[in-house]
Chain A
Amino acid sequence: MKKYDNLVMNAVGRLVPTEVNGQLMIPFMGSGKYKPTGKMAAPPIPTTADYPLDGNKLVDSLAEALHKCGLKDGMTISTHHHMRDGDLVSNMIFDIAHEMGIKNLVWFPSASFPCNEPLIKYLEDGTINRIEGSMNGPLGRFTSRGGMKGTAVLRAHGCRHQAVQDGEVHIDIAVMAAPTADPFGNANGLYGKSACGGLGFGIADTHYADKTIVVTDNLIPFPCAPMQIEGNFVDYVVKVDSIGIREKIVSGTTQITKSPDRLRLAEMTTEFCLEAGLIRDGFSFQAGAGGTSLSIGVFIHEILKKNGWKARFAVGGANKYLDDMLYDGTLDYILDGQTFDLDAVRSMREDANHIAVSAFSSYNYHAKGNHSTMLDLVILGATEVDLNFNANVVTHSDGLLLHGIGGWQSAIQGKTTILPIPLFRDRIPVIRDEVTTLCGPGEFIDVIVTERGIAINPLRTDLMEKMKNSPLPIKTLQELKEESERICGKPEKPNFSDEIVAVIKWVDGTVIDVVRKVAP
């Protein structure tokens, strides 16, 4: 089986393969152009007759559960990333697979973290053929250097659900870490020593996988409520000592920035939003998990308080900053896809307006509408932007794949998307002639805010008009690019090999770009 084949030019001018890991792929055709046909995928029909009538699905170990699920070469194993950098379960699965001598597995996580670095040895020895998910930090570096046997596939959270639902990825075994569960398999992330909030990223997995294993370190008698994961979809339940390292489950990405430069950026973004009328009574927003975006959330909160306004809903990445808003009445609802800190876990437990959602309902593009397009204001980051507002979130300018897409590709479809980014990072300009990897077409990016000037997408004639006489430094991307190159010098063009190591999917399942191998 070839890693990839049959390259064609897609609608954003990127050369992409139409065959990846032996599977046919559709090149990106333009937003909303690809119309899917046919029926959704479905798992085999189970029967209660095959399951213990007392509801007790406990087995002694994860190894036994995997064995009972029929783990064999070439299977696809899915996990969710609600344990974030504290995850202990994913590594356990592949330790067991390796011991069983299994080869060519596909790991299908909703995201990976630096804690998954030990899996590199299994990617090297062929226990794992490839990752379809996200590759952060060490795994990304390994992938960039061509270490993976198969071709990696990166998908946004909503796109991951689309892939499962459309039958593009068939999950053989879903292994769901669960902070609290009962022997029947009902589970939630609200209680227990490894509490993480919602379990939204795993819900589609349990619905579509052939087999589902729940792994918990807090087993309680039936019923475990609320039932974020429903036991009716679960085959086996395993009790282990620990599914996660508590302090890393709620990890440090969710701190507001202390950097004065980033705070200035946050201030300028907030000023822009206020002047452009983007923050108002009844509006909705999503702010990313980065320090700058979080600070903007805090500034938005202050503005709402000062004006006596309320936001109708915020999509998260829930954290204590959103909770504060919920509690003082400046926000009606949190729609929480993942819960970033313990304050937010508590608020999800206690507040009926803090709602656990799955990316299935919120950000799946192949659905009867989704939440992202209803968002009024979206504030996110990017590693690079080109002169046409196309943006990159997965690779750095030196070509290294270091980040996942997260919810980014879906969220940018909100009504106004703003990317606050520094004009350069350690000499490296952020505005480029061409982005290294195109993750989001410029038509979805409305405003770029840098500390040295703000560029409005010319497609947004309404914003251009509104900000015509603004005291803020409104400039073109070309002007900003020239300014950064005056300061940093013009960057050289990095030499990438032709070899493709990863493909980037768009929310509709088409291929928008690829990542090429970099020299070691």
Chain B
Amino acid sequence: MEPIAIAGNKGKGIRSDCHVTLELTSSGGVDIKLESKVKTLYGQAITAKAKEILDFFGISNCKLLIEDTGALDLVLAARMEAAIKQLINTDKCFLPEMLTQNLYATAKDQNRFSRLYLPGNSPQLMLNAGIHRPNGIILDLEDAVAYAKKEEARFLVRNALRSIDFYGAERMVRINQIPKGLDDLEYIIPYNVNLILVPKCESAAQIVAVNEKIEELKKKYHLDYPVWLMPIIESALGVMNALQIAHSANNVVAMAIGLEDYTADLGTQRTNEGTESFFARSFLVNACKSAGIQAIDSVFSDIADMEALKQNVLRSKALGFDGMGCIHPRQIQVIHENFAPNEAEIEKAKKIMNAFIEATEKGLGVVSLGTKMIDPPVVKRAQRTIELAITMGKLSKNWREEEE
């Protein structure tokens, strides 16, 4: 073990974070040095919190340097715990407050148009993520975290799940690739995570392994909330096994495709038209629909081109996808607007629902619209369209009464 441990981020462009340097000493008590741009207003609070954490881990002699750019307590605590655990062996965890408003569960079939990726080791992007109202937020432990920062990111993601309010967004974490990712689960499952993304998934066995670990943790921590899974298919093998993966467990609620890695695996280039990935996307959609789960499209990486994003969403929707990842908050609105039912779809759904309700009122067993018979799945789909339209503010809740 090294005698000095560091954790956190500093330097140009870093905000709402802190960088801690901890050295255990044999005598001399606790020596805390704080450099902070918020020292005038929070200097005492930061020092007191640091002392509390050192005390919690039983450290009575050390030198601690905190270089702070406005870190909230949950960030300071994560950085310090990450440093402390490099130096001492302990099972203790310094957990910040679990916000009561974070204790919500999500539904298997809830709307998942958009999910915003947040790098798991960057607090500055997490704090305001919820104000952009994505359907889901993803605290990413995988590709968005540098290899050397993997360990400390776990503490930050854990603390974020407890103490950051994402204003109702589905709380998701992307773990590392299996098997490494299995070790991430201990840091997130007990903290009311709603959904786990399993990256570079290639077999049903990987999903089974994730579920075994989740079950083990649920027992250990006496948890009874659902934890949903969203495998991400990112290779040719993954695509070919997508059908089995989609059917591998009851808590798999959606399956996503990651086109950057997939096209690299094929040895081709990703294009806006997406011809090279047409098979994979279409196959994935069919695999998902055969299992009654949602199909989620890859992120669109040009964050400046909203028109190209829009076209991408419309193509995606036409292929049968139910949602898409976002790497920038400005993409959320475009994704919502274009995945949402359009005017023609809403009008058609209204007609079907009216016919269905009238038929039910008359006690008719068969629903028809004009000369066409309407099957129950069509009614169900229309109902879903109406619900979505209401949620998206495109249709009044009392649309039937208002039209009469």
- Interface residues of chain A, those whose CB is within 8 Å of chain B, are 260-261, 263-264, 397-399, 425-428, 451-452, 471, 487-489, 491-492, 494, 518
Contacts and interface: CB of A to CB of B under 8 A. Distances in A.
Interface string B27-39: 0000000000111
A492 B44 contact: yes
A491 B42 contact: yes
A398 B40 contact: yes
B148 interface: no
Nearest to B97: A486
Nearest to B116: A260
A42 to B, nearest CB: 47
Contact of A427 (B71, B128, B165, B393): B71
A427 B40 CA distance: 12
A492 B69 contact: no
Contacts of B376: none
Contact of A261 (B37, B39, B128): B128
Contacts of B37: 426
A471 B397 CA distance: 14
Given A264-B329, A487-B72, A452 B40 contact: no
B132 A264 contact: yes
A162 to B, nearest CB: 34
Nearest to A268: B131
Interface string B55-95: 00000000000000111110000000000000000000000
Contacts, number: 60
A491 B40 CA distance: 9
Contact of A489 (B45, B128, B165, B328): B45
Given A491-B42, A492-B42, A494-B41, A427 B16 contact: yes
Given A261-B131, A264-B132, A426 B70 contact: yes
Contacts of B393: 471
A428 B41 contact: yes
B348 interface: no
A426 B73 contact: no
Contacts of A471: 393
B127 interface: yes
8 contacts: A260-B330, A264-B132, A425-B70, A427-B16, A427-B38, A427-B41, A491-B42, A494-B40
Contacts of A425: 70
A518 B39 CA distance: 13
The 9 nearest A-B residue pairs measured at CB? A426-B70, A398-B40, A260-B329, A427-B70, A491-B41, A451-B131, A494-B40, A261-B128, A427-B38
Contact of B128 (A451, A494, A518): A451
A423 B330 CA distance: 20
Interface residues of B, number: 25
Interface string B126-150: 0110011000000000000000000
A399 B15 CA distance: 21
Contacts of B132: 260, 264
Contact of A428 (B70, B127, B131, B328): B70
A261 B332 CA distance: 13
Interface in B1-45: 15-16, 37-45
A261 B124 CA distance: 11
A462 to B, nearest CB: 26
B38 A428 contact: yes
From A261, A397, A427, A492, residue with most partner B Cβ within 10 Å: A427
Nearest to B131: A451
Contact of B16 (A260, A263, A397, A426): A426
A471 B392 CA distance: 13
A349 to B, nearest CB: 32
B333 to A, nearest CB: 9
A350 B110 CA distance: 56
Contacts of A260: 132, 328-330
Contact of A426 (B38, B43, B44, B128): B38
B238 to A, nearest CB: 31
From A397, A425, A426, residue with most partner B Cβ within 10 Å: A426
Contacts of B329: 260-261, 264
A491 B70 CA distance: 12
A452 B165 CA distance: 11
A488 B16 CA distance: 10
Contacts of B72: 427, 487-489
Contacts of A452: 131
Contacts of B15: 426
A427 B328 contact: no
A491 B71 CA distance: 13
Nearest to A489: B45
A495 to B, nearest CB: 8
Contacts of B44: 492
A475 to B, nearest CB: 14
Nearest to B41: A491
Contacts of B328: 260
A261 B16 CA distance: 14
A260 B127 CA distance: 12
Nearest to B328: A260
A494 B37 CA distance: 13
Contacts of A491: 41-42
